[in-house]
């Protein structure tokens, strides 16, 4: 990996560092955008500065690094020591070098000095002040310079790094940035694997994937591996990340599929699963998470879950008794015994789907309106709720999410104020709206509205909350009805094989984005437009899907209508 890759530093300069070692916090991202790092040394310095001890020096370092101000040195003797950090004390080694140069400390004395800093021991550090002052005075430094140096040393005892430590960190950080830049899907799949047991982080990571234009596909019994995996440039959700589904269940399912191929039907699934590992709770979670959508509607599958378990147990007992071999089981055609409704996204059940997916996966798939807004929200510099951390308490943040619940209370003066729960794709947070703002924005605080909220991040009862300063409502708020009609016109290549291949790729793109938007497929032929029947095809429009269709067919191939009035107008 080259250490001077321009594309990697371009990524770091944008502050889009979700998933990168040491650089994920909102505060760090803010400073990276201001710093505009160009070397691994810059990364090392920022990692070291972003600590309670030297943090106050960050603006000075950034200003000098970018040439806004000249580097300043308290004394000419300090320039060789602090030149690399533009006159700012960044590392413990620099402190050691200064006390050696200014006070005449031996190497051993200098080591004891920074050891007092590293141990965060104020009393031990104070013991070093007298010999430092005496040595500096003896070597001709003024009392003013000595006192100023001591003032600069003191914050380092709160928490600071040595350079050896942060340079090692910086190299790992740079390598993660390089991977994210040049192998984005593979890198984000690895990040998701590392966070698979922490749903809050999974939500934030998947939101970052969508921001990057990487599709994250829902879990599927015939496509998912145990962990997150890359599938044709997209990331497939891993089975092991589903809540209540144990490792033994996942390993058994994946191994069976690898040995004997995909599960072809629900009956086939029942006859091939290991009933000793797949208990009812795990099967229920797989169904609710959408892993068995290829077999039918989730509600219908759940209704017959006992029959599924019974058939699996019967098959296992029969096999154990030696009445049927595994070879026979793999080759026989099972008689359908289930009456399962085909898989569909009934708008009346969407809230239930969201609830299941949020509980079991930590993220929403399909037509949740925030999916389509991900790229647009990036323009507002929003922070994912799951990314909020203690280090940005007291700062102003902007969040976007769906209002799920709210309650009003009366203040002591009898004025109404509001507590609202806002949910995005990575988590939930409470928003406090004081009386004056609530009075002026009362009509916006409705359930299922997507809101853009700016306010101060606070903490209440060990939970984060946003004290709202401003709010606006974003479009695409109605989650209960089809919102769009997609008209796709396929120009001919006059090559039947390529035409068919291109049509299959379009269909795959639409299926990869399941939702409630209707689709109209038209093929342009020498004799005119031919309409393909797609009565059951549904998808979810997003900027990602639009770009994928345009890449396959050209920029004019897709028209998007907001039902019903735009479609009627187009028809007329």
Assign 566 a pLDDT band (cuts: 50, 70, 90): very low
Whether the predicted pLDDT of 182 surpasses 50: yes
DSSP-derived pairing of the beta strands 234-236 and 463-473: unpaired
Contacts of 531 by beta carbon, 8 Å cutoff, 6+ apart: 520, 521, 522
In order of 193, 230, 236, 279, the CA distances from 225 in angstroms are 11, 10, 8, 19
Query: What pLDDT, on a 0 to 100 scale, did the predictor assign at position 384?
Result: 82
Whether the predicted pLDDT of 478 surpasses 50: no
Whether the predicted pLDDT of 439 surpasses 60: yes
Q: Which of 221, 326, 305 is closest to 269 using CA atoms? A: 221
- Percent pLDDT > 90 in the chain is 44
Query: What pLDDT, on a 0 to 100 scale, did the predictor assign at position 346?
Result: 54
pLDDT (tens digit per residue) in 273-292:
887 788 899 999 999 999 99
Query: What pLDDT, on a 0 to 100 scale, did the predictor assign at position 322?
Result: 64
pLDDT (tens digit per residue) in 30-86:
899 999 999 999 999 999 999 877 888 999 999 999 999 999 999 999 999 999 999
Most confident of 157-166, 351-360, 507-516: 157-166
Whether the predicted pLDDT of 546 surpasses 90: no
**Beta bridge mates, 433:** 418
Whether the predicted pLDDT of 569 surpasses 60: no
Query: What pLDDT, on a 0 to 100 scale, did the predictor assign at position 338?
Result: 66
Query: What pLDDT, on a 0 to 100 scale, did the predictor assign at position 426?
Result: 73
Query: What pLDDT, on a 0 to 100 scale, did the predictor assign at position 388?
Result: 84
Spatial distance between the Cα atoms of 209 and 363, rounded to a whole number of angstroms: 12
Query: What pLDDT, on a 0 to 100 scale, did the predictor assign at position 13?
Result: 94
Most confident of 224-228, 315-319, 366-370: 224-228
Instruction: Name which of 115-119, 167-171, 315-319, 515-519 the model is least confident about.
Output: 315-319
Whether the predicted pLDDT of 221 surpasses 70: yes
> What is the secondary structure of 314-334 as a DSSP string?
HHHHHHHTTSS-HHHHHHS-P
Assign 562 a pLDDT band (cuts: 50, 70, 90): low
Assign 404 a pLDDT band (cuts: 50, 70, 90): confident
| E-assigned strand segments in 332-433 | 396-410, 416-423, 428-433
In order of 75, 83, 139, 155, the CA distances from 142 in angstroms are 10, 22, 9, 22
Query: What pLDDT, on a 0 to 100 scale, did the predictor assign at position 149?
Result: 93
Cβ(486)–Cβ(559) below 8 Å: yes
Whether the predicted pLDDT of 528 surpasses 80: no
Higher pLDDT among residues 485 and 280, named by residue? 280
Burial class for 347, CB neighbours closer than 10 Å (0-12, 13-18, 19+): middle
Mean pLDDT of 550-554: 83
Whether the predicted pLDDT of 324 surpasses 50: no
Handedness of CA 308, 310, 312, 315 (dihedral sign): negative
Query: What pLDDT, on a 0 to 100 scale, did the predictor assign at position 366?
Result: 61
Mean pLDDT of 17-33: 88
Q: What is the mean pLDDT of the chain?
A: 84
> What is the secondary structure of 200-217 as a DSSP string?
HHHHHHHHHHHHTT--EE
DSSP class of 238: P
Instruction: Note the residue count of the chain.
Output: 572
Query: What pLDDT, on a 0 to 100 scale, did the predictor assign at position 330?
Result: 47
Spatial distance between the Cα atoms of 232 and 536, rounded to a whole number of angstroms: 25
- Percent pLDDT > 70 in the chain is 87
Higher pLDDT among residues 119 and 313, named by residue? 313
Spatial distance between the Cα atoms of 42 and 37, rounded to a whole number of angstroms: 5
Mean pLDDT of 402-415: 89
Q: Which of 384, 460, 381 is closest to 422 using CA atoms? A: 384
Phi, psi of 399 (to 5 degrees): -120, 160
Instruction: Name which of 23-27, 234-238, 299-303, 485-489 the model is least confident about.
Output: 23-27
Query: What pLDDT, on a 0 to 100 scale, did the predictor assign at position 482?
Result: 42
Handedness of CA 454, 459, 465, 469 (dihedral sign): negative
Query: What pLDDT, on a 0 to 100 scale, did the predictor assign at position 185?
Result: 95
Whether the predicted pLDDT of 147 surpasses 80: yes
Spatial distance between the Cα atoms of 357 and 242, rounded to a whole number of angstroms: 9
Cβ(85)–Cβ(64) below 8 Å: no
Query: What pLDDT, on a 0 to 100 scale, did the predictor assign at position 7?
Result: 95
Contacts of 135 by beta carbon, 8 Å cutoff, 6+ apart: 102, 103, 104, 105
Contacts of 423 by beta carbon, 8 Å cutoff, 6+ apart: 385, 401, 402, 404
Query: What pLDDT, on a 0 to 100 scale, did the predictor assign at position 446?
Result: 84
Radius of gyration of the chain (CA): 30
Contacts of 268 by beta carbon, 8 Å cutoff, 6+ apart: 334
pLDDT (tens digit per residue) in 112-133:
888 888 777 777 788 888 999 9
Contacts of 290 by beta carbon, 8 Å cutoff, 6+ apart: 218, 219, 220, 298, 353, 357, 365
Query: What pLDDT, on a 0 to 100 scale, did the predictor assign at position 69?
Result: 94
pLDDT (tens digit per residue) in 348-393:
466 677 778 878 988 777 656 676 676 566 667 788 887 787 778 8
């Amino acid at each position: 990996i080259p250490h001077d890759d321009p594309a990697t530093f371009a990524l770091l300069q944008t502050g889009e560092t979700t998933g990168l070692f040491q650089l994920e916090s909102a505060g760090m991202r803010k400073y990276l955008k201001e710093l505009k790092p160009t070397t691994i040394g810059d990364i090392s310095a920022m990692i070291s500065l972003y600590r309670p001890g030297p943090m106050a020096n960050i603006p000075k370092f950034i200003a000098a690094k970018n040439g806004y101000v000249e580097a300043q040195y308290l004394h000419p003797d300090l320039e060789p020591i602090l030149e690399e950090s533009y006159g700012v004390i960044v590392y413990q080694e620099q402190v050691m070098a200064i006390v050696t140069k200014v006070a005449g400390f031996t190497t051993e004395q200098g080591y004891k000095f920074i050891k007092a800093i590293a141990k965060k021991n104020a009393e031990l550090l104070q013991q070093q002040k007298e010999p430092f002052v005496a040595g500096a005075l003896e070597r001709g430094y003024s009392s003013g310079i000595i006192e100023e140096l001591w003032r600069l040393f003191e914050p380092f005892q709160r928490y600071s790094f040595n350079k050896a430590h942060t340079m090692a960190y910086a190299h790992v950080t740079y390598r993660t940035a390089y991977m994210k830049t040049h192998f984005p899907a593979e890198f984000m799949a690895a990040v998701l694997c590392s966070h698979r047991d922490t749903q809050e982080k999974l939500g934030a990571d998947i939101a970052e994937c969508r921001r990057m234009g990487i599709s994250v596909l829902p879990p599927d019994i015939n496509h998912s591996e145990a962990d997150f995996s890359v599938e044709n440039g997209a990331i497939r959700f891993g089975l092991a990340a589903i809540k209540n589904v144990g490792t033994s269940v996942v390993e058994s399912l994946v191994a069976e599929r690898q040995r004997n191929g995909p599960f072809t039907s629900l009956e086939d699934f029942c006859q091939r699963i290991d009933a000793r590992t797949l208990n009812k709770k795990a099967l229920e979670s797989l169904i609710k998470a959408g892993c068995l959508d290829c077999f039918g509607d989730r509600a219908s599958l759940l209704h017959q879950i006992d029959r599924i378990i019974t058939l699996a147990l019967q098959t296992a007992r029969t096999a154990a008794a030696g009445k049927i071999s595994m070879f026979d089981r793999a080759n026989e055609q099972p008689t359908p015994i289930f009456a399962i409704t085909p898989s569909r996204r009934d708008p009346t059940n969407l809230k239930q789907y969201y609830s299941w997916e949020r509980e079991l996966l930590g993220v929403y798939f399909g037509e949740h309106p925030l999916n389509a807004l991900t790229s647009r929200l990036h323009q507002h510099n929003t922070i994912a709720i799951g990314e909020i951390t203690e280090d940005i308490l007291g700062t102003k943040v902007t969040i976007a999410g769906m209002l799920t619940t709210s309650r009003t209370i009366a203040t002591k003066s009898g004025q109404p104020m509001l507590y609202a729960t806002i949910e995005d794709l990575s988590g939930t947070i409470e928003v406090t709206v004081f009386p004056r703002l609530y009075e002026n924005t009362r009509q916006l605080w409705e359930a299922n509205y997507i809101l853009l909220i700016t306010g101060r991040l606070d903490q209440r009862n060990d939970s984060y909350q946003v004290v709202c300063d401003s709010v606006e409502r974003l479009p695409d708020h109605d989650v209960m009805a089809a919102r769009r009609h997609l008209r796709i016109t396929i120009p001919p290549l006059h090559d039947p094989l390529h035409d068919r291949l291109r049509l299959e790729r379009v269909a795959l793109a639409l299926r990869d984005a399941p939702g409630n938007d209707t689709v109209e497929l038209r093929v342009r032929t020498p004799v005119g437009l031919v309409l393909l029947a797609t009565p059951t095809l549904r998808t979810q429009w997003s900027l990602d899907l639009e770009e994928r269709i345009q890449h396959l067919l050209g920029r004019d191939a897709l028209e998007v209508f907001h039902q019903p009035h735009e479609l009627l107008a187009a028809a007329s």
